Amino acid sequence: MDDDQFKEEVVKKLDLLTKLSALNINPQSFLKDKNQGEQIRILSDLGLSRNIIALIVGTTPDIVSVRLSQMKSTAKTKPRKD
């Protein structure tokens, strides 16, 4: 691994830590009252990987992938409000 690759990895890890820290600003986590699908959507919107989302939500990366795929499919079939 060269210096540029190392720096890029460090930046990715710092971004992840920043995003995870943002989730803990409010003592009553905004994920607390959300169902698993909503939690997955929120965490995905933050740019977290499926592996990290699975750890936070308490499921597997495969389940996260399936849920995100279902959400995309549902979004495509919903009529747009223009």
Residue 65 domain-assigned (yes or no): yes
Question: Which pTM value belongs to this model?
Answer: 0.66
Domain that residue 66 falls in: 36-76
Domain count, the chain: 1
Most confident of 43-47, 61-65, 72-76: 61-65
Residue 61 domain-assigned (yes or no): yes
CA torsion, points 65, 56, 44, 72, in degrees to nearest 10? 40
- What is the per-residue pLDDT for 37? 93
- What is the per-residue pLDDT for 27? 39
Residue 3 domain-assigned (yes or no): no
| Mean pLDDT, rounded, for 37-46 | 90
* Residue 66 pLDDT > 80: yes
Distance (Å, rounded) from C-alpha 68 to C-alpha 71?
5
Residue 51 domain-assigned (yes or no): yes
